[in-house]
Amino acid sequence: MFSQLSPAQPDPILSLSLIYNTDQRDHKMDLGIGVYRNNHGQTPIMAAISQAEHRLLQTQTTKSYVGLAGSEVFNQCMIDLLLADTSAHSRAAGVQTPGGSGALRMLADLMHVANANTTVWLTDLSYVNHRPVMEAAGLKVKYYPYFDRDTKQVNTDAMLSALVQAGVNDVVLLHGCCHNPTGADISFEAWQAITALANKNGFMPFVDMAYIGFGDGLEQDGAGLKFMADNIEEMMIATSCSKNFGLYRERTGAALLVGDTLPNAQKAKGRILTLARASYTMPPDHGAALVADILTDSVLTAVWKQELVMMQQRIIGLRQSLVNTLAAKGCDQFSFIADHKGMFSMTGLSPEKIMRLRDEFAIYVVGDGRINVAGLQEQQIDALATALMTVA
Ligand code: PLP
Ligand code: TYF
């Protein structure tokens, strides 16, 4: 049976990491996979996570099963983090999932159960796994105009004009903040406009919030989502603790359902639990237990927030520093990098130029031209600026 299978298509980002690992050049630079790195090139365990882990080791008495929804304390923490001070807070239900990816898939499966004719609208240029996850769940996929390749920002008019066509059989997927792969986020006014369109035309918003805290800080990054949740009867949210808690491999995330009433949100949650049972059954506990401990302890919450702000500020500093270094060399072609949010920026470099960066400078950039600014070290900026100018 296996011999009849056609070979798998490699993941463009994960396979780039494998090639990078075999590169022997000392000055090599990995701007591919979306992980945060400090100035030593390491992805550290955050201090609050280490402290919570230490405490967990001393207090945990069993590894017995938790349940289909994972930790309900964690689920409530995610509802508090994303929906506090909105009308949605009291009509939301949550399910712990294996990473934000697990949440995307469970919510996609739920949509298919609710309506097998659902079409999901994705931003034109979106996270590499959005389309495969939606299609694997049996949903149809459409793209709406999003990234303007000239301005390197969102083309809001084109986006809103296209979304006018979305109706009751449609789900519109939005990136909560720090758009992957472009770094171009929608304005607060665009959140308001999309909310009004959803209410008028009946499509369901689905927000993928994978980077809250990495753009302009927790409050500002969540403001658009909160506005929408406050002003809409139903929506879905996939969230991830991979980046902002540094829990990548622990697979920690949640699917949140906002209903017109709490019982309806809980009904949707019940259906997700049935879907989970038919898949991975129960999510891994460790990461969620740590996040729950941190967010229910004011001292640990403060430690976490402080480090998150430090990471966010570092990314802003790296963006500015790269743009300044380029400007000092007489290049303003990449000044948009300072305006982008979160880890990524879409550079607009062609595949040939990306290959030159790799071959001539040992700089690894995803084939579509995305750079992970959060993977840079301060001492690499000058070399990156020179390389960008040489190939551009
Ligand atoms: N959604 C977006 C937009 C992402 O960039 C990612 C990747 O990090 C995910 C979801 C999935 O994250 P996780 O590692 O938590 O599954
Ligand atoms: O976009 C990224 O780089 C991260 C990590 O199949 C990632 O979201 C990359 C590829 C993949 C899953 C996650």
Burial class (CB in 10 A: 0-12, 13-18, 19+), 192: middle
Atom nearest to 253 CA in ligand 1: 15
Per-residue pLDDT, 264: 98
Interface pTM, i.e. ipTM: 0.98
Pocket of ligand 2 contains residue 46 by CB under 6 Å: no
Atom nearest to 127 CA in ligand 2: 1
Average pLDDT of the segment spanning 39-44 = 95
Residue with the nearest Cα to atom 3 of ligand 2? 34
Residue with the nearest Cα to atom 2 of ligand 1? 210
Q: 257: pLDDT confidence band, cut at 50, 70 and 90?
A: very high
Average pLDDT of the segment spanning 353-375 = 96
Residue with the nearest Cα to atom 4 of ligand 1? 210
Bridge partners of 236, per DSSP, are 206, 257
What are 152-167's pLDDT values in tens digits? 999 999 999 999 999 9
Share of the chain above pLDDT 90, in %: 99
Distance CA(93)–CA(75), nearest Å, equals 8
Cα(83) to ligand 1 centroid in Å equals 20
Average pLDDT of the segment spanning 38-60 = 97
Contact 325, 380 (CB under 8 A): no
What are 110-123's pLDDT values in tens digits? 999 999 999 999 99
Distance CA(222)–CA(93), nearest Å, equals 18
Q: 284: pLDDT confidence band, cut at 50, 70 and 90?
A: very high
How many residues appear in the chain?
392
Does residue 367 carry a pLDDT above 90? Answer: no
What are 303-316's pLDDT values in tens digits? 999 999 999 999 99
Distance CA(292)–CA(382), nearest Å, equals 41
Report the residue among 33, 104, 240, 372 best suited for mutation to probe ligand 2: largest number of ligand atoms under 8 A from its CB: 33
Does residue 140 carry a pLDDT above 90? Answer: yes
Cα(124) to ligand 2 centroid in Å equals 17
Share of the chain above pLDDT 70, in %: 100
What are 230-240's pLDDT values in tens digits? 999 999 999 99
Compute the mean pLDDT over every residue in the chain, rounded to the nearest whole number: 97
Cα(200) to ligand 2 centroid in Å equals 34
Q: Which residue has the tokens 């880890």?
A: 343
Q: Please give the model's pTM, rounded to 2 decimal places.
A: 0.98
Strands (DSSP E) found in 91-214: 92-98, 119-123, 140-144, 170-175, 204-209
DSSP three-state, residue 28: coil
Q: Can you list the domains of the chain with their CATH numbers? A: 9-45+300-391 (3.90.1150.10), 65-296 (3.40.640.10)
Per-residue pLDDT, 228: 98
Pocket of ligand 2 contains residue 180 by CB under 6 Å: yes
Q: Inter-axis angle of helices 286-295 and 72-83, to 10 degrees?
A: 60
Average pLDDT of the segment spanning 53-75 = 98
Task: Give how far the C-alpha of residue 313 lies from the chain's centroid of Cα atoms, to the nearest Å.
Answer: 18
Atom nearest to 242 CA in ligand 1: 15
Pocket of ligand 1 contains residue 240 by CB under 6 Å: yes
